[in-house]
Structure 1
């Protein structure tokens, strides 16, 4: 079978790569063409465009980069028609992927959506469009099945692929020594993978160094940047940056400060107490407040349907608030234990690994039925 996969950011690259592995296991003749990143490149060399040319965060940023986005859409549509896959597999990234889904459906290409757009967060009527342009939806969050059911759409719950990524990961027992880290407890800094996230969040994170001299702080670097890029936000502080070792970093950390996104759930699944932070363009945030219909921004709290981790958003993401929360996480035994107890409940809600394998099998089964 010929599979055309589109992943537009770092998390999609991770999940897309694991899905490609699973598809190859079940389909010995699998051929891939994709938009993604370095992890997907490990599974196939047939990349059309890297996600670093696609990921724009926030309403304002999208408007500013509209010409580039429209060019990418046009390029993708043309490439789809030239290569006509048996299955178009879209991985999250709804602003781009739903437009491609509509185009593909109109041109007789089967559309499979892996990792649902967050339609439950805002503009829920988008489900009506999804029903028309997506042949099969594979959801990774437990509450999404009942949400779609309310709109009369049957979806498949496959479990969460982060469980796959973590269970398949070979942890480095020499992580500290190989990265020249000392014996002080580590606080991991995960400022995100996009430029806008890093430039807004990392300066606030770095301020914590003076408040917690008994800890060492380590930055999880995004693969699309170099170590030199992070220097401008360190203000002379000696803060190591590690690349492609985020799970090892978290595994060796006492606490973490994490940009809202997939990384918050990864941190919880690795049982690292955390504080979640987010800062966006003020206009984008103002628009989001009018549109978004959810109580939380972190996946941890959304899945648990309660406050498990503290969320410091926009103006609340400041030195004083961050210092107070990190102090609780590191030094208040009761507070820390409660968070870890809630993490255990989260593990139960998430289920078992195998999302990639289950999704691959379903895609192949549906393709065979549709032929």
Structure 2
């Protein structure tokens, strides 16, 4: 077996997205021939998103599936994007948005109840395929149940087993028919463990109107805030963002602060955690990519949002804080050097990572001041981010994934 780099190492040149060769062009409908044969009942797919970010990608995937097979029925667990694309959502992803060991324990009765419901629905409805999106702690249990029922299981967006508990690759080998990856280094990780997977490029490239977004210039002095979508992370980060804003304003009164709220978070909830003496604009999530592009820099919670901001070319300070026990355990289990995807893809720290005690207002203000006050510093970060966009492949991930799934269902 060839030597294989660890996650975060230089991506292998052979990791060419399937999308580059086989996805239809935007708006193409020729893939509709993948639909069910005339006279046969419509096929049914169960799509399970365990987080709001997964729901966004699931919505795009379902749209691509329906372009290829308009008669396809979709049921499962989703949020606003999957429901908007046509899913009959038996369960809501909004009811499962928790993170961290102790945080999950507090929601355990609800989580177990949802799993029982899903297992019962799978046994009763017998879909033709199950598609799971990330969220392994929840979705692996669904994979096991579906596999036991003889239902083919496909995984869209690999769980981050390259970061911790890599032994879970053995579960994937036994229970998952097709693993569809969206990060370039994942191909080599699975190859090292004796598995061939499908790499389709990153679906975030499909949801952004690049011609429009690249024309938006950052507004000097505008700082964006993305405190996350989960209650615990917002409660941990929003007050620290407020402290950082107050410190930054003391020397730079012309700064403005714009918080992009998640769809499931109210403006009142955000303002309740923000200092009353610091002006704050709450931005709607509806056109968040355009809003983010107007920012000179961002403060963001660790997660998918940091890859979004990186692809948009916006310098970002990454912050996160979980319970002491969750962090203690994570330090012992996590096998990668960085927690944010942009740093992992580029194999260097482009976005400073301020975790736990460093997710502090004074520390955030100090890092932001360095970026703002050092000539050329923000431009240097933006140049690194242009390289990241190139590495994440061309658009077409959802279309390529849809073709793979429907071919397996044929």
User: Offset of 1:163 from its aligned partner?
Assistant: 0.7
> Are 2:250 and 1:202 aligned?
no
Partner of 2:96: 54
Partner of 2:40: none
- The 5 Å alignment of 1:83-102 reads 83-102=125-144
Partner of 1:280: 322
Partner of 2:173: 131
Residues 348 and 184 of structure 1: is their aligned pair in 2 closer, same or farther, counting only changes over 3 Å? closer
Preserved CA contact (<8 Å) 2:296 2:315? yes
- The 5 Å alignment of 1:253-272 reads 253-272=295-314
Preserved CA contact (<8 Å) 2:156 2:181? yes
| Equivalent of 1:217 in 231, 245, 257 | 257
| Equivalent of 1:355 in 375, 397, 402 | 397
Cα distance in structure 1, aligned partners of 2:325 and 2:305? 25
Cα distance in structure 2, aligned partners of 1:107 and 1:218? 49
Q: Which runs of 5+ in 2 are unaligned?
A: 1-42
Cα distance in structure 1, aligned partners of 2:105 and 2:261? 27
**Aligned-partner SS, 1:253:** coil
User: Offset of 1:334 from its aligned partner?
Assistant: 2.6
Partner of 2:159: 117
> Are 2:109 and 1:73 aligned?
no
Cα distance in structure 2, aligned partners of 1:131 and 1:169? 40
Partner of 1:180: none
| Equivalent of 1:293 in 331, 335, 359 | 335
Preserved CA contact (<8 Å) 1:267 1:274? yes
**Aligned-partner SS, 1:42:** helix
User: Offset of 1:366 from its aligned partner?
Assistant: 1.8
Residues 52 and 168 of structure 1: is their aligned pair in 2 closer, same or farther, counting only changes over 3 Å? farther
> Are 2:189 and 1:189 aligned?
no
**Aligned-partner SS, 2:154:** strand
Preserved CA contact (<8 Å) 2:238 2:273? yes
| Equivalent of 2:269 in 219, 229, 254 | 229
> Are 2:81 and 1:39 aligned?
yes
Cα distance in structure 2, aligned partners of 1:172 and 1:153? 38
User: Offset of 1:173 from its aligned partner?
Assistant: 9.6
| Equivalent of 1:333 in 364, 371, 375 | 375
User: Offset of 1:172 from its aligned partner?
Assistant: 12
User: Offset of 1:243 from its aligned partner?
Assistant: 2.3
Residues 156 and 184 of structure 1: is their aligned pair in 2 closer, same or farther, counting only changes over 3 Å? closer
Cα distance in structure 2, aligned partners of 1:168 and 1:20? 22
Cα distance in structure 1, aligned partners of 2:169 and 2:215? 45
Cα distance in structure 1, aligned partners of 2:87 and 2:361? 44
User: Offset of 1:323 from its aligned partner?
Assistant: 0.9
Question: Which range moved further: 58-67 or 88-97?
Answer: 58-67
How many residues are paired up?
362
Preserved CA contact (<8 Å) 1:167 1:353? no
Cα distance in structure 1, aligned partners of 2:213 and 2:311? 14
Q: Which runs of 5+ in 1 are unaligned?
A: 177-182
User: Offset of 1:207 from its aligned partner?
Assistant: 1.5
**Aligned-partner SS, 1:117:** coil
Partner of 1:241: 282
- The ranges of structure 1 where at least 4 consecutive aligned residues each deviate by more than 3 angstroms after the TM superposition are 167-174
Cα distance in structure 1, aligned partners of 2:362 and 2:282? 24
User: Offset of 1:222 from its aligned partner?
Assistant: 1.4
Cα distance in structure 1, aligned partners of 2:245 and 2:168? 44
**Aligned-partner SS, 2:338:** coil
So what's the TM-score if we normalise by structure 1? 0.93
Q: Deviations over 1:71-102 (max 9, x none)?
A: 11101111111221111000001001011001
Preserved CA contact (<8 Å) 1:14 1:40? yes
RMSD of aligned Cα (Å): 2.0
Cα distance in structure 1, aligned partners of 2:60 and 2:409? 19
Partner of 2:22: none
